């Protein structure tokens, strides 16, 4: 965990008092809605279909139990008793009153949580691997770098009014759980031939109307130079990014229009001209940030404790363990994913009571730490293996032990038409219907890893382009239709899905997905071949045939 | 539109001269970049100070040769959501060493004052009187800064390291 000190706390409090003043000026009419809009967006406040929506940052997805309890409190006191975890390691509240927002923010600031730059045309909450610091084999804890970047990008005086929003993601593992290739800047921490730590820097990824996979702009930037290099990229983007058309204002369009080579030259030139402007991170600066991360005092534990051996007799436990428990870098510990995808539930929702209970479980079993992943699930990052059976029973009582992580019902979905004013179609009810269709665990297990991602419109908040199966809501003559893509993925081999054919009406979506899955089961060349790999091998044609032959 | 400079509301000594209009023989003028670049030397020979309004869509490089002889550069925020002039300001101050008046014009609200001063602006044509009045108060809003810029404020990281250093020296 990173511990905020007096300076971090002072800054968040100062931001709260500034926002309090801005809200007051809006309520008195001193600020027009047009002026206020940008100011509130910089603090995560949207005006949605029914009410103000409030998006709170969870930098690189790490939360303390105290912080989670406070989020539960905000859900209960200021909202309707639940929150919605998003694909950007944020939590959203859908029913907040504007006049009460400053108080909610102040209560969050108390525990080191803020909503700065969770929206608006600035540098957004830096995201990272939800298993950072505990995943076996990672180069080093990427959160140190995420935190360095979090600080640097917070209230940055040059980049708070960019052409568009700007997202940075960092991974330090070979297997990319941070989806860095669909971010404006993706950073992959690795070591060069001399054993020095640095970053492969990728730019220009993103989803939405014009999806792109990020391209490598520089294979290695030394860790000490990462701030100046990122700053050079942003400066070029701030000056040359299009502002005439919001659909073309993202850096991905600039990179695409200039070409990566030309863009890279511009950045390189800017970077050289910058010289030494105090952005170089010497060893002591990096150590200063590193020193404020604390790590659990792990015990020396056996690899296979008796408790686990005994519990293995219970098939329900075993099913959950196989699905939700991942290896930890420390022997005797594991990482436990808590599914926020119960059958029939809206993906990513958690009630205030669940949040409180998870906080208690984190205290009891995970050194008080919780993680939020972009798949809209939570994780307890340091669970002793001997505690797994007890933890499972507790999670099961809370409805958080659905053994479907990474399976067909572990669906990512944006709020869609139920909450979002930009939506063309519903997302949540589609997700709910699909979780019912595939509720049988044995079937889901047989299908294997399969990611379904749903967005209610082209903005792609549900990452539909990179779902193994992507579902995109579109509107036709006032009715909800859905385009289906297959073969997308957001990992280290990120790729956009390919459209299989004409959009289908709401009522047929679940049938179509079932058809696609059946086609896969018939087409895969062995049970281990993942859905995406079958699609890669065969292309979309056989799936298209299966879906449209009878329609 | 009130002008705030050095933290106070002052009278603007610069006269905005429109592109077609005749230049006064003396006195401080503020003219467009296009007009200035037509014949910079002639304009700079005039009695009286020269200030140039530089558009945010043009690299400041073309202005650099004249910086030492300019009394003011005005950068433009056509709307406050367009932040290109922040980069221009930092480049003028930090890279090109410009030390004359750097004025923010356009849609200028109190909510940008801190960002703007950090980027190097020292004069502000403020849109609303109440915002101009609130300048001093607004500037006190933040005491912690994360990024180093040319304004010389010590960053949070540096303060922590200094603190650590003095703690270990005192042991
Ligand atoms: C409910 C209110 C929301 C609104 C009004 C909204 C608005 C938008 C808009 C306009 C875009 C397109 C931006 C662009 O790429 O040009 C976008 C993209 C995106 N939003 Fe949302 N969104 C909302 C909720 C969410 C939620 C709940 C999530 C997470 C579950 C989310 C995560 C994202 C992501 C990941 C993208 C893709 C950006 C990219 O990769 O380029 N948003 N959103
Ligand atoms: S994808 Fe569209 S419908 Fe879904 S949350 Fe984003 S903007 Fe709203």
Where does residue A465 rank: exposed (0-12), middle (13-18), buried (19+ CB within 10 A)? buried
Residue A326, strand partner residues: A335
The residue ranges of every structural domain in chain A are 6-109, 142-290, 306-398, 412-548
Q: Alpha helices, DSSP H only, in A312-417?
A: 315-324, 352-365, 388-398
Secondary structure of A517-547 as H, E, C letters: HHHHHHHCCCCCCCHHHHHHHHCCHHHHHHH
* CATH architecture for segment(s) A306-398: Alpha-Beta Complex (3.90)
Q: Which residues touch A168 (CB under 8 Å, ≥6 apart)? A: A123, A124, A126, A127, A149, A153, A183, A184, A185, A186, A187, A230
Which residues in chain B are contacts of A245 at CB distance < 8 A?
none
Q: What is the CATH architecture of A412-548? A: 2-Layer Sandwich (3.30)
Closest ligand 2 atom number to CA of residue A424: 3
Q: Which residue has the tokens 């959160």?
A: A143
* ipTM of this complex: 0.95
Residue B61 to residues A61, A161, B77, B95, B151, Cα–Cα distance (Å)? 42, 22, 19, 11, 21
Q: Please state which CATH class domain A6-109 belongs to.
A: alpha beta
Residue of A208, A416, A454 with the most ligand 2 atoms within 8 Å of its CB, for mutation: A416
Percentage of residues in chain B having pLDDT higher than 90? 91
Chain B residues near residue A278 by CB distance under 8 angstroms: 148, 155
B54 vs B61: CA distance, rounded Å: 11
- List beta partners, residue A200: A188
Report whether A255 contacts A203 (CB < 8 A): yes
Phi-psi map region of A82: left, alpha, beta (phi>0 left; psi -120 to 50 alpha): beta
**What number of residues does chain A have?**
551
Residues β-bridged to residue B5: B8, B123
Residues near A488 by beta carbon (within 8 Å), at least 6 away in sequence:
A453, A464, A465, A466, A467, A468, A470, A495, A496, A497, A498, A532
Give the span between the Cα atoms of A251 and A237, in whole angstroms.
6
DSSP SS3 for B47: coil
DSSP codes of every residue in A480-514? EEEEEEES-B-STT-B--EE-SS-EEGGGHHHHHH
The distance in angstroms from the start CA to the end CA of chain A is 53
- Which candidate, A317, A451, A340, places its Cα nearest to that of A388? A317
Considering Cα of A271, then A272, then A274, then A279, what sign does the dihedral take?
positive
CATH number for the segment(s) A142-290? 3.30.413.10
Ligand 2 neighbourhood includes A460 CB (under 6 angstroms): yes
- The per-residue pLDDT for range A244-293, each reduced to its tens digit, is 888 899 999 999 999 999 999 999 999 999 988 899 999 999 999 999 99
Buried b (16+ CB within 10 A) or exposed e, A366-395: bbbbbbbbbbbbbbbbbbbbbbbbebbebb
Q: Look up the pTM and report it.
A: 0.95
Give how far Cα B106 sits from Cα of A31, A32, B124, Å: 16, 17, 9
C-alpha A471/C-alpha A463 separation (Å) is: 9
Per-residue pLDDT of chain A (551 residues), as tens digits, is 888 899 999 999 999 999 999 999 999 999 999 999 999 999 999 887 778 899 999 999 999 999 999 999 999 999 999 999 998 999 999 889 989 999 999 999 999 999 999 999 999 999 999 999 999 999 999 999 999 999 999 999 999 999 999 999 999 999 999 999 999 999 999 999 999 999 999 999 999 999 999 999 999 999 999 999 999 999 999 998 888 888 899 999 999 999 999 999 999 999 999 988 899 999 999 999 999 999 999 999 999 999 999 999 999 999 999 999 999 999 999 999 999 999 999 999 999 999 999 999 999 999 999 999 999 999 999 999 999 999 999 999 999 999 999 999 999 999 999 989 999 999 999 999 999 999 999 999 999 999 999 999 999 999 999 999 999 999 999 999 999 999 999 999 999 999 999 999 999 999 999 999 999 999 999 999 999 999 999 999 999 999 998 88
Which of A112, A161, A271, A286 to mutate against chain B (most B CBs within 10 Å)? A161
pLDDT digits (tens, 9 = 90+) for B41-89: 999 999 999 999 999 999 999 999 999 999 999 999 999 999 999 999 9
CA distance B118 to chain A (A): 6
Three-state secondary structure call for residue A288: helix
Residue pairs spanning A and B at CB distance below 8 A:
95
Please judge whether B83 and A158 are an interchain contact, meaning their C-beta atoms are less than 8 angstroms apart. Answer: yes
| Predicted local distance difference test score (pLDDT) of residue B92 | 98
Tell me the CA distances in angstroms from A434 to A328, A408, A409, A501, one per residue in order: 32, 8, 7, 20
| Mutant choice from B57, B75, B81, B116 vs A, greatest count of A C-beta within 10 A | B81
Q: Is the dihedral of CA B104, A14, A130, A466 positive or negative?
A: negative
* B156:A151 CB<8 A: yes
- The half-sphere exposure of A130 on its side-chain side, counting CA atoms within 13 A, is 28
Tokens 């001209």, residue?
A273
Residues 6+ apart with CB under 8 A from A471: A427, A430, A452, A453, A454, A455, A464, A482, A483, A484, A509, A513
Check CB contact under 8 Å for A152 and B115.
no
Q: How many CB atoms lie within 10 A of CB A317?
A: 20
Instruction: Tell me the C-alpha distance between B96 and B103, whole Å.
Output: 16
3-state SS assignment for residue A437? helix
Atom of ligand 1 nearest to the CA of A420: 1
Q: Is the dihedral of CA A84, A400, A181, B85 positive or negative?
A: positive
- pLDDT tens digits for A5-41? 999 999 999 999 999 999 999 999 999 999 999 999 9
CB nearest B144 (choices: A11, A17, A161): A11
- Give the DSSP per-residue string, B86-141: HHHHHIIIIIS---SEEEEEES--GGGHHHHHHHT--EEE-S-HHHHHTHHHHHTS
Q: What is the DSSP letter of B70?
A: -
CA distances from B46 to A469, B28, B49, B73, B141 (A): 70, 10, 8, 17, 42
CA distances from A220 to A98, A374, A389, A502 (A): 45, 26, 44, 43
The reply to whether ligand 2 has any atom less than 6 angstroms from the CB of A457 is yes
Nearest by CB to B115, which of A30, A157, A285?
A: A157
Q: Fold match between A6-109 and A306-398?
A: yes
Q: Which ligand is nearest to the CA of A83?
A: 1
Tokens of A131: 């298993």
């Amino acid at each position: 965990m990173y511990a905020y000190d007096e300076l971090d706390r002072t800054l968040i409090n100062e931001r709260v008092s500034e926002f309090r003043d801005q809200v007051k000026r809006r309520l008195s009419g001193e600020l027009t809605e047009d002026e206020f809009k940008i100011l509130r967006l910089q603090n995560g406040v949207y005006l949605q279909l029914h009410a103000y929506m409030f998006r709170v940052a969870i930098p690189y997805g790490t939360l303390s139990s105290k912080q989670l309890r406070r989020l539960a409190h905000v859900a209960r006191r200021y909202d309707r008793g639940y929150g919605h975890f998003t694909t950007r390691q944020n939590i959203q509240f859908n029913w907040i009153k504007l006049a009460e927002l400053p108080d909610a923010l102040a209560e969050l600031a108390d525990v080191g949580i803020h909503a700065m730059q969770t929206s608006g045309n600035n540098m957004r909450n830096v995201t990272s691997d939800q298993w950072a610091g505990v995943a076996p084999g990672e180069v080093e804890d990427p959160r140190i770098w995420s935190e360095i970047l979090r600080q640097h990008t917070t209230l940055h005086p040059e980049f708070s009014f960019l052409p568009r929003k700007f997202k940075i993601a960092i991974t330090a593992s070979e297997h990319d759980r941070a989806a860095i290739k669909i971010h404006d800047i993706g950073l992959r921490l690795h070591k060069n031939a001399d054993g020095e730590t640095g970053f492969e820097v990728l730019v220009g990824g993103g989803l939405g109307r014009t999806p792109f996979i990020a391209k490598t702009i520089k294979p290695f930037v030394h860790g000490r130079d990462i701030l100046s290099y990122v700053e050079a990229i942003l400066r070029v983007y701030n000056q040359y990014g299009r502002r005439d058309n919001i659909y073309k204002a993202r850096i991905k369009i600039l990179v695409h229009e200039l070409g990566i080579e030309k863009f890279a030259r511009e950045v390189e030139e800017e970077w050289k001209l910058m010289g030494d402007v105090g952005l170089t991170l010497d060893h002591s600066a990096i150590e200063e940030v590193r020193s404020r991360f604390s790590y659990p005092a792990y015990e020396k534990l056996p690899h296979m404790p008796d408790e686990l051996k005994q519990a293995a007799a219970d098939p329900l436990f075993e099913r959950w363990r196989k699905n939700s428990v991942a290896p930890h870098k420390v022997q005797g510990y594991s990482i436990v994913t808590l599914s926020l995808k119960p059958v029939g539930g809206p993906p990513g929702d958690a009630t205030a009571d669940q949040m409180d209970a998870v906080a208690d479980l984190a205290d009891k079993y995970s050194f008080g730490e919780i993680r939020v992943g972009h798949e809209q699930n939570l994780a307890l990052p340091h669970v002793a293996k001997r505690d797994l059976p007890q933890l499972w029973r507790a999670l099961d009582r809370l409805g958080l032990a659905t053994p479907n992580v990474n399976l067909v019902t572990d669906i990512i979905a944006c709020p869609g038409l139920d909450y979002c004013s930009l939506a063309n179609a519903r997302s949540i009810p589609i997700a709910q219907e699909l979780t019912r269709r595939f509720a049988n665990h044995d079937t889901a297990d047989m299908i294997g890893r399969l990611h379904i991602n749903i967005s209610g419109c082209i903005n792609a908040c549900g990452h539909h382009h990179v779902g193994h199966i992507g579902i995109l809501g579109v509107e036709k003559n006032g009715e909800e239709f859905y385009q289906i893509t297959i073969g997308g993925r957001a990992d280290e081999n990120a790729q956009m899905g390919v459209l299989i054919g004409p959009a289908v009406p709401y009522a047929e979506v679940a049938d179509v997905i079932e058809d696609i899955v059946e086609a896969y089961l018939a087409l895969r060349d062995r049970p281990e071949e993942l859905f995406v790999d079958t699609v890669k091998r065969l292309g979309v044609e056989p799936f298209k045939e299966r879906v449209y032959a009878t329609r | 539109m009130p002008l705030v400079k050095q933290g106070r509301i002052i009278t603007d000594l610069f006269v905005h001269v429109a592109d077609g209009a005749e230049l006064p023989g003396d006195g401080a003028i503020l003219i467009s970049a296009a007009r200035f670049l037509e014949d910079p030397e002639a304009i700079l020979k005039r009695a009286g100070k020269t200030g140039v309004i530089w558009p945010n869509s043009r690299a400041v490089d073309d202005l650099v040769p004249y910086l030492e002889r300019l009394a003011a550069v005005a950068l433009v925020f056509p709307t406050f959501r367009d932040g290109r002039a922040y980069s221009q300001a930092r480049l003028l101050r930090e890279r090109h060493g410009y030390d004359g008046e750097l004025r923010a014009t356009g849609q200028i609200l109190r909510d940008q004052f801190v960002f703007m001063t950090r980027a190097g602006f020292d004069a502000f044509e403020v849109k609303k009187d109440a915002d101009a009045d609130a300048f001093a108060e607004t500037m006190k809003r933040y005491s912690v800064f994360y990024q180093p810029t040319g304004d010389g404020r010590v960053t949070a990281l540096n303060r922590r390291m200094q603190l650590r250093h003095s703690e270990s020296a005192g042991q």
